[in-house]
Structure 1
Amino acid sequence: MKTDIRNILATKTKQALSSNILNASNIRQNIIILDELRNFIPSLSLDEYSQLESNILQHGCQTPIQVWQTLKKNLDLAFEKEDDLAYILVDGHNRYKICTSYNLPFEVYVLSFDSQKDAKDYMINLQLGRRNLSQNQISYFRGLRYNNEKADKSDNLLTNFSKGQNDSLRSEGQKTDNLVSNFPKGQNDPSENGGQKTYKLETESSKGQNDPSVNNGQKIDNFEIKSPKGHFDPSVKTTAERLAKEYNVSPKTIKRDAEFADGLEKIDSELRNNILDGKIKVDKGTIQKLSKSQIKTPIKSVQELHELIDKFDNISESKAIKLSDRVRESVKNADDFDLTITIKGGFLVKNGLESVWRELRGLPNETVIDNSFTDTISIYQAPFLGIIDRL
């Protein structure tokens, strides 16, 4: 009789998870919130938070809190033993806050990452999979993802994303043993993102999702083997091109998103969230300019932001004038054809200058001047030919 490996693994996994229920309270006591990671989570409006709170109080917390299991020493956290574990909250900050405030039970989904960078990748991708993001938030998270991934050596590893699914594993460095939960179709499945174990602090009846920021959530039960997703695309060369293809935008848009994210990272988290939520209006171009500044202290007010940008613009303009003056002085020492100007036929045709140009340049009358025509002149000839007033 042929051995059914899938059923054996599923049975063993369920048994392992049952034994881990005893560790659930220990995990709960060691959940840690890192400000650096919490800042990736868009804040809920008062109405959204109130609705979430009401849902949880009425139906319980039905979507697992997701945590990253790692050694405390790896994050420079205080520890007694070398193998002391920390459980870093990566998803469910609002649910966690509500549950702990009312001492309510909740399930914990444990994830494994090789590094904090991989945890950031996962959190960014998770946010990009949500449906209630503003355009500024989408731009911000795309920019964060670009900045986080552009130096990745596995740059050409593309992940297939299931249509309609909230998110899938996009972080190349993330560990997984391919034992994942079998969620209903359309369900937001944290196991697709590399989840390892679910710890149930207390059994709850599943009555539907109570988090307005994600898709419908239900209990985690059956386990099955799933093949890894992803394929190698040698035609995609850069991070910007890869992300542009994924999000159906141009590489330039991705790079502008990166500037936007860089600028926002130089702003105090409270002000940054207010800008992303649309509570405070700041021109996107202003934020992008901020990305080029070298400030070390986060900006705390819009007034401070505009004062810095005005100062930055003035310095840039002054520097540009000095540099252009230096170039202008050097022009005097240029030979005839060190500096040239190319005249395109399209310009001449558009302005009806074909015969005028033939006469000025001494060209034969049979010379055809059309859109494919080009002529190169020295910059010293330009004033005589009417291209510029003077040098």
Structure 2
Amino acid sequence: MVEGSSITVLKVLKDFILPLSAEEFNILEQSILSDGCRDPLIVWQKPDGTNILVDGHNRLKICQKHGLPYKIKKLGFSDMDQVKDWMLDNQMGRRNLTPDQMSYYRGVKYLSIKQAKGGYKNIQSKGQSGLSTSEVLAGQFKVSESTIKRDAKFAEGVEIIGKSNPSLKLQILSGESKIKKADIRILTEHKESDKLTFRNEADLFNKAKRIRDEILDEVEQDVKRIKAQKITKAQETLKSLEPAFLNKEDRMKKIKASIVSVINRAINDKDVTAIKELKKLIERLEGELFD
């Protein structure tokens, strides 16, 4: 007899966890045909009595295909976020995940906690008060905090790819793709990452390179701008130095010109140091006028 025949399958939960490869599905199917469905299906029993499938999508598919019995285990969850959090922990507790898949799931967990109301407080345990999300997860998974942050970038990049090319996303996470993780992480740095689309690996590689080049160009422009600002300040400082032979009228003209220049710098560049220079110039002007 089949227990829990009225099980609701939600696409959002079915697609939340990576699907099995054809080979993995076949192995599972042969195991169930040989030994039966030994592990119960996990369902979220809602207050209205609805049973939402949380874990066991492949087992359910196989059992329904061959008319085999299965058992269910009912769990209570407060909301969909808690369901997804349980699914992530369940997946990461399995030993057959590849390093890239584990990295992806750690990143997804980090992003889901950061986005959830209350943040990482939902997973805090005794003695962890005051820790950041990355610190908590780093301790939980025995990796560095920087690894968790890179995982988050990787997971975010994979989701960007998956929006336009789900097949490429699966190829990356199944290990069939040779795309570097650095090229996937760099996608998150694009100003309009939500509009990126990818036809294939080559297209992704080219766009990742273009994003990296654009970032380098911006950095170079920032460096040039900072250098130009320093040169301008140095020139203004030199101009403010008054030769001993200048008469009072010429000194007044130089002070006046310096005041105008510093005011413009303070307004245009929002330069706090310019305000301090302006005060000194006003003191000098006061000295010239009243000494």
Q: Is the 8 A contact 2:42 2:56 kept in 1?
A: yes
Matched, 1:282 2:176: no
Matched, 1:43 2:19: yes
Match of 1:317 in 2: 216
Amino acid at match of 1:116: M
Match of 2:135 in 1: 241
1:244-294, CA deviations, whole angstroms, 9 ceiling, x for partnerless residues?
111111111111111011011112233222211111121011111112232
Distance 2:183 2:168 in 1: 14
Amino acid at match of 1:31: T
The 5 Å alignment of 1:206-225 reads none
1:124 maps to which of 82, 88, 113: 88
Amino acid at match of 2:158: L
Residue identity over aligned pairs, in percent, reads 33
2:112 maps to which of 148, 164, 175: 148
Amino acid at match of 1:285: A
**Higher relative helix content:** 2
Shift of 1:139: 0.7
Shift of 1:68: 2.1
- Mean alpha-carbon deviation: is it higher for 43-52 or for 263-272? 43-52
Q: Is the 8 A contact 2:119 2:133 kept in 1?
A: no
1:68-122, CA deviations, whole angstroms, 9 ceiling, x for partnerless residues?
2347xxxxxxxxxxx5x54332211211111111122211222222221111111
The 5 Å alignment of 1:76-87 reads 83=48, 86-87=50-51
Decide whether aligned partners of structure 1 residues 95 and 298 sit closer, same or farther in structure 2, where only a CA change above 3 A counts: farther
Match of 1:352 in 2: none
Distance 1:136 1:117 in 2: 23
Match of 2:188 in 1: 291
1:95 maps to which of 50, 59, 63: 59
Matched, 1:32 2:9: yes
Amino acid at match of 1:316: I
Instruction: Give the SS at the match of 1:291.
Output: helix
Amino acid at match of 1:260: F
1:176-229, CA deviations, whole angstroms, 9 ceiling, x for partnerless residues?
xxxxxxxxxxxxxxxxxxxxxxxxxxxxxxxxxxxxxxxxxxxxxxxxxxxxxx
Q: How many residues align?
A: 230
Shift of 1:333: 2.5
Q: Is the 8 A contact 2:37 2:69 kept in 1?
A: yes
1:301-349, CA deviations, whole angstroms, 9 ceiling, x for partnerless residues?
212211321221232233333333322211112359x9xxxxxxxxxxx
Query: Which of the pair has the greater relative contact order for Cα pairs under 8 Å at 6+ separation?
Result: 1
Structure 1: runs of 5 or more not aligned: 1-20, 72-82, 160-230, 339-391
Decide whether aligned partners of structure 1 residues 302 and 100 sit closer, same or farther in structure 2, where only a CA change above 3 A counts: same
Shift of 1:57: 1.1
Q: Is the 8 A contact 1:158 1:233 kept in 2?
A: no
Matched, 1:257 2:141: no
Shift of 1:51: 1.8
Q: Is the 8 A contact 1:157 1:232 kept in 2?
A: no
Amino acid at match of 1:254: I
Q: Is the 8 A contact 2:7 2:53 kept in 1?
A: no
Q: Is the 8 A contact 1:158 1:232 kept in 2?
A: no
Larger radius of gyration: 2
1:16-54, CA deviations, whole angstroms, 9 ceiling, x for partnerless residues?
xxxxx9xx76x53342132x3223323333332222111
The 5 Å alignment of 1:1-391 reads 27-34=4-11, 36-70=12-46, 83=48, 86-151=50-115, 153=118, 155-156=120-121, 231-234=125-128, 236-268=130-162, 269-293=166-190, 294-296=193-195, 299-334=198-233
Instruction: Give the SS at the match of 2:52.
Output: strand
Match of 1:215 in 2: none
Shift of 1:148: 1.1
Give the CA RMSD over aligned residues. Answer: 2.7
Instruction: Give the SS at the match of 2:74.
Output: strand
Distance 2:41 2:149 in 1: 33
Distance 1:297 1:117 in 2: 27
Amino acid at match of 1:288: R
**Higher relative strand content:** 1
Decide whether aligned partners of structure 1 residues 126 and 317 sit closer, same or farther in structure 2, where only a CA change above 3 A counts: same
Instruction: Give the SS at the match of 1:109.
Output: strand
